[in-house]
Structure 1
Amino acid sequence: MAKTSKQPKGATPKDTKGKDSKPKGNKPKDATARTAKPKDAKSKKAKAGDAKGKSAKVKDTKGKSATSKDSRSKDAKAAMPKSARKGAVDAEQRPLRTSWTEALRVEPGTDLASIDPRSTPAFDGDKKDGKELLDELADPVSDLQEQLYAEASAGGNRSLLLVIQGMDTAGKGGIMRHVVGTMDPQGVALTSFKAPTEEEKQHPFLWRIRNAVPEPGEIGVFDRSHYEDVLIVRVHDLVPKVQWARRYGQITNFEKRLVEQGTTVVKVMLHISKEEQGERLAERLDRSDKHWKYNPADVDERGYWEDYQEAYQAVIDKTSTDTAPWFVVPADRKWYARLAVMNLVREHLQAMEPQWPEVDFDVEAEKQRLAES
């Protein structure tokens, strides 16, 4: 198939000389308080699994048999009241939860082709379980977001940047609706990078990216990103190889500086199969309410599928670092991809441990003043 000259989505065709400008600082507004829903532990049916979905086997230590231990456990349960025995059984059967961050993180030597797009690392529940868990996570994530936002109001400088990349129909829009859409919009800075404007073309490729990084207290979200400049630009030979090849280093240096300045970077590749993409494109043609999402150029791009896979492999090989690692999320199951991204955001926010700011007034005295007013 002859290659077509497609206008890139989010790619800057050439680098030009000039200094990158810094984003303007905006002070965060007060976030609206949200009340977390009580959690029902029994409704969380997520089960642990490693990145390849294999079950871990428990090994006996020092070559001793576990039979006597099992017998003692059974005897102890038999001596319990009936209700207590049931609780003990439930506790034993409750699965250990594997860290989503660990299960999905790209490790050195990761082969993208070996990752099954229909797999569900760190989770062995079904679609119903996944949707229930996603709903349950909305409030805890929102609460963490509010803490991060509040922390910045007292001078904190930390933020989180979520980068979403993937082939056409990989589910980026669904992540925006079902994950980002659960957050308080006051604290979210969402940027969708499409073909560069004439002004953007006059600057280095990272110029428009710098202008979109999140302010302190914000969760920034990139729907496509600076990685388009080493993906579609590479596949379609939009600039000489010597030019796009040096961008990998420029990107890693840029992300390193972001982290040093207080931004936690979470980069997600939605890994979809060519077969699943074909089915999703067919659905857009079959349903009149989906016609608006269909782009004839998407079919042209399918002719470059292997080239894109090579380009993505190069991206994760060259730009997954300790400070800004990539996470490959199998995306043939939409519900799983959304659940995985929500958990990645949750785990990274938890690791940041955002703090409620200390107040500079006497709370009890203010309560008294309010009562007397």
Structure 2
Amino acid sequence: MIRLSEIPTTPPDDLDRDDIEDKTKELQERLGDLQKVLYAEQKHSVLVIFQGMDASGKDGAVKHTFKDCHPHGVRVHSFKKPTDEELAHDFLWRVHKQVPPKGMIQVFNRSHYEDILIQRVHGWIDDEHAHRRMAAINAFEELLAFDNNTHIFKFYLHLSYEQQREELQERIDEPDKHWKHNPNDWKEREHWDTYRKYYEYAINESRIPWTIVPVDKRWYRNYIVVKTLVERLEALNMQYPPLPI
């Protein structure tokens, strides 16, 4: 049972930032190499999900993780408030259209988990509805893994309450971050404990596990995310296809 309150949001004290950033650069380059083989081999697909509180660094995680990957092999989709057309379908309808074909990396900046998080926090669905949706999410992800050889990485960006305040305040204080400012983020902050409760539910009920990434120090976030991806993709032993005979 994962309890987020028991997991640090900061790196271990004995880590050297310069050393970790050097390792991160090497891993970013290695991920770029692996992405090229993935694209060429066309046997696997990759789905990367980033979830976290407002200001937990989802955009930054996408930017730094895939900086050395070729743009033709990586797609990013951000799930916003559902449109009228999307609301006329089941909640996974808009998600299924975005999953990766073989050879591709698809990144979800927020995801189908919003439908058992914000919806539940604000009482738009009840507990029974949320439980049914969680069962559908598990079945959906297992379908992708089984039927399309999709490797699913789920990262919860683990931010502290104090660091969130600093990040949100920077969007007011720093001109180059004004475009990120959304007054509603401060209102959502009032529901911090409830969000954490339902994040723990989603994490603990998932059959495909999550990686909990401490993000109060962004350099450590970058390292953990790219290291997790590289280690699992290397284990696939992907190979460039030979010339046809």
Q: Taking structure 1 as the reference length, what is the TM-score of the superposition? A: 0.64
Q: Residue 47 of structure 1 corresponds to which residue in structure 2?
A: none
For 1:241 and 1:248, the matched residues in 2 are separated by: 10
Aligned: 1:176 with 2:48: no
Q: How does 1:171-250 map to 2 (within 5 A)?
A: 171-250=57-136
User: Relative contact order, CA 8 A, sep 6+: which one is greater?
Assistant: 2
Instruction: Return the letter of the residue paired with 1:170.
Output: S
The number of aligned residues is 244
Q: Residue 285 of structure 1 corresponds to which residue in structure 2?
A: 172
Q: 1:333 aligns with which of 206, 217, 220?
A: 217
Instruction: Return the letter of the residue paired with 1:146.
Output: K
Q: Residue 186 of structure 2: SS of its match in structure 1?
A: helix
Q: Deviations over 1:257-312 (max 9, x none)?
A: 11102001110000000000001111111111111111100110111000001011
For 1:130 and 1:172, the matched residues in 2 are separated by: 20
For 1:226 and 1:233, the matched residues in 2 are separated by: 11
For 2:238 and 2:84, the matched residues in 1 are separated by: 39
Shift of the alpha carbon at 1:168? 0.5
Asked if structure 1 preserves the Cα contact closer than 8 Å seen for 2:52 and 2:157, the reply is: yes
Q: Residue 133 of structure 1 corresponds to which residue in structure 2?
A: 23
Aligned: 1:111 with 2:22: no
Asked if structure 1 preserves the Cα contact closer than 8 Å seen for 2:31 and 2:66, the reply is: no
Q: Residue 160 of structure 1 corresponds to which residue in structure 2?
A: 46
Q: Residue 202 of structure 2 corresponds to which residue in structure 1?
A: 315
For 2:211 and 2:152, the matched residues in 1 are separated by: 11
Q: Residue 235 of structure 2: SS of its match in structure 1?
A: helix
Q: Deviations over 1:38-80 (max 9, x none)?
A: xxxxxxxxxxxxxxxxxxxxxxxxxxxxxxxxxxxxxxxxxxx
| Structure 2: unaligned runs, 5 residues or longer | none
- Tell me how large the CA RMSD over aligned residues is: 1.3
Aligned: 1:144 with 2:34: yes
Shift of the alpha carbon at 1:126? 2.1
For 2:115 and 2:81, the matched residues in 1 are separated by: 11
Larger Rg: 1
Shift of the alpha carbon at 1:124? 4.3
Query: Given the superposition, is the C-alpha separation of residues 124 and 144 from structure 1 closer, same or farther in structure 2, using an over 3 Å criterion?
Result: farther
| Structure 1: unaligned runs, 5 residues or longer | 1-108, 362-373
Q: Residue 182 of structure 1: SS of its match in structure 2?
A: coil
Following TM superposition, the consecutive aligned residue runs of length 4 or more in structure 1 with deviations greater than 6 angstroms are none
Q: Residue 125 of structure 1: SS of its match in structure 2?
A: coil
For 1:239 and 1:260, the matched residues in 2 are separated by: 29
Worse-superposed segment, 125-134 or 159-168:
125-134
Q: Residue 141 of structure 2 corresponds to which residue in structure 1?
A: 255
